[in-house]
Amino acid sequence: MKDLVPAAGNGLYDRRAFLRGGAALAAAMTGYSVKAETLTDPVWSNEPGTLVPPYGTPSKYEKGVVRTLSNPDFEPRNSHARTPHHLLHGTVTPNGLHFTISHGGNAEIDPAQHRLAIHGLVKRPLVFTAEALMRYPTVSRFTFVECGGNSAPMFSPEPIQASVQALHGLASCAEWTGVPLSTLLEETGIDPKAKWVIAEGADSQRLSRSVPLAKIMDDAMVALFQNGERVMPGQGYPMRLLLPGWEGNMNVKWLRRLELAEQPAMSYYESRTYSQILPNGKAFRFYFIQEVKSYITRPSFGVELKGPGFYEISGVAYSGNGKITKVMVSADGGKSWAEAALQEPVNSKSFTRFRAPWEWNGGPAVLQSRAWDDQGNVQPTRADFVAKRGEAAKVPSPLAFPNQHFNSITSWAIDANGGVRHVYA
């Protein structure tokens, strides 16, 4: 990297290195290609390929790129399927790999029979079919959905040795298309006494959450499509509530009912499972927004380094408050920082891919990322976060286990062999 001036310690270069057409970086690359090799014709160049199928699937060589399941035998409890961030790239999560949490399995709903009712404090209660909703004005937007319990393993007092999929895999990002709820509520009319909307799913849990009416009128939609095709069963087919930037569980899947009310319902999922317990034993009554966050996906636990030299450090950043404005990256555990490049377009409440050029000298390194959003929020350090929010006791108590809305910095330590460990730094 002879033409490059370091931007921070331990081999981090400036993001502007990317803008120079690769000239400066190219010098650092030599050696990662395979220089002397005789090319041969492999079997696939000499035989016909395989049938082009009606619905494409990944290569058989990528069969390990799947969601990890917390309940593969489908026992009568909830099921988590986590996104393999460390094996993906870009900002879109493909639908097959979008995280899912289901409290009673994936409901398999016949869209012809499904109904969405809007009732309660409205002027004209109405019931909609999916077919009727298809006639309404639609919007599309990229947005992430993240479980409030994503990153819960980070509350552990000792760093858990696990991949970014295991630590942060309960967040994904897609282009959602549907009908703005403001349009449907203009049609039903709103009783001025209404302040909340109680959303209920058609699954066997009848999962319900209460949403402030202001959020519903701001940017909520009834989502019908996800990355172009109809939402998948694990995302709430034939329709789900989408609340950009808000706790995943509130984005009620298999949506069948929206009741306008003066007060929240204080349902099971909002008053027990997804309420955050604080160090003083009290709990946040509600914690809706998924705060600004980032993590490095490459390199990361399970994505090891193959000897010293150039690497691109890359990851995702997002904020439920708005757009990501800056991501800083450190290679020395936070002693010095370089600004990462952000992939355009940066969408509000959406995954933003960041990248930083790095030359690993083969010595110890601790990689971190830290994100800022356009509402003035900054991702907290672990020390600051734990001071306010606590961490799990060494002997966990089932009564007071903090497990929600973790958003501090994640640290990956590189050892001399290129191995990656999860550390607290």
CB 220 within 8 A of CB 242: yes
3-state secondary structure of 285: coil
Binding to its own copies by CB under 8 A, coded x per residue (else -) over 398-417, reads --------------------
Say whether residue 105 binds its own copies (CB under 8 A): yes
Tell me if 417 sits within 8 A of 360, measured CB to CB: no
Q: Point out which span in 78-86, 147-155, 391-399, 407-415 binds its own copies (CB under 8 A).
A: 78-86
Q: How far is residue 308's CA from residue 418's CA, in Å, rounded to a whole number?
A: 8
Q: Which two tokens stand for residue 90?
A: 């870009």
Please identify, using beta-carbon distances, which residue of 239 and 250 lies nearer to its own copies: 239
Closest CA to 150 of 163, 168, 165: 168
Q: Is 275 in the site for its own copies (CB under 8 A)?
A: no
Binding to its own copies in span 367-396, by CB under 8 A: none
Q: Which is nearer to its own copies, 135 or 394 (CB)?
A: 135
HSE on the CB side for 52, CA within 13 Å?
0
Which member of 3, 5, 123, 140 binds its own copies (CB under 8 A)? 140
**Amino acid (1-letter code) at residue 308:** P
CB 287 within 8 A of CB 148: yes
Residue numbers 208-267 binding its own copies by CB under 8 A: 217, 224-225, 227-230, 232-235, 237-238, 254, 256-257
Should residue 2 be labelled a site residue for its own copies when binding is judged by CB under 8 A? no
Q: Segment near its own copies (CB under 8 A), from 152-160, 285-293, 343-351, 402-410?
A: 343-351
Q: Specify the 3-state DSSP secondary structure of 137.
A: coil
> Restricting to residues 311-330, which ones interact with its own copies according to CB under 8 A?
311-312, 314
Closest contact distance (angstroms) between CB of 380 and its own copies is 27
- Using the structure block, give the residue that is written with the tokens 């709430």: 236
Work out whether 59 is an interface residue with its own copies (CB under 8 A). Answer: yes
CA distance 146 to 142: 13
Binding range to its own copies, per CB under 8 A, among 126-134, 152-160, 372-380, 402-410: 126-134
280 binds its own copies (CB under 8 A): no
- In terms of residues, how long is the chain? 425
Q: Check residue 194 for interaction with its own copies (CB under 8 A).
A: no
CB of 5 to its own copies, least distance (A): 17
User: What would the DSSP string read from start to end of 377-422?
Assistant: -BPPPHHHHHHHH----SS--SSS---S------EEEE-TTS-EEE
Nearer to its own copies by Cβ, of 72 and 398: the residue is 72
CA dist., res. 375 & res. 377, Å (int):
6
The interface with its own copies within residues 32-51 (CB under 8 A) comprises 32-35, 37, 39, 42, 44-51
- What is the b/e burial string over 379-391, where b = at least 16 CB atoms within 10 angstroms of the residue's CB? bbebeebbeebbb
Among 2, 55, 281, 394, binds its own copies (CB under 8 A): 55
Please identify, using beta-carbon distances, which residue of 153 and 233 lies nearer to its own copies. Answer: 233
CA distance 264 to 312: 47
Question: Per rule CB under 8 A, is residue 77 in the interface with its own copies?
Answer: no
- Of 103-111, 146-154, 163-171, 379-387: span binding its own copies (CB under 8 A): 103-111
Which of 270, 297, 300, 298 lies closest to 285, judged by CA? 270
Within 10 angstroms of residue 302's Cβ, the number of other Cβ atoms is: 16
Residue from 53, 192, 281, 398 touching its own copies (CB under 8 A): that is 53
Does 192 bind its own copies (CB under 8 A)? Our answer is no
Q: Does 139 bind its own copies (CB under 8 A)?
A: yes
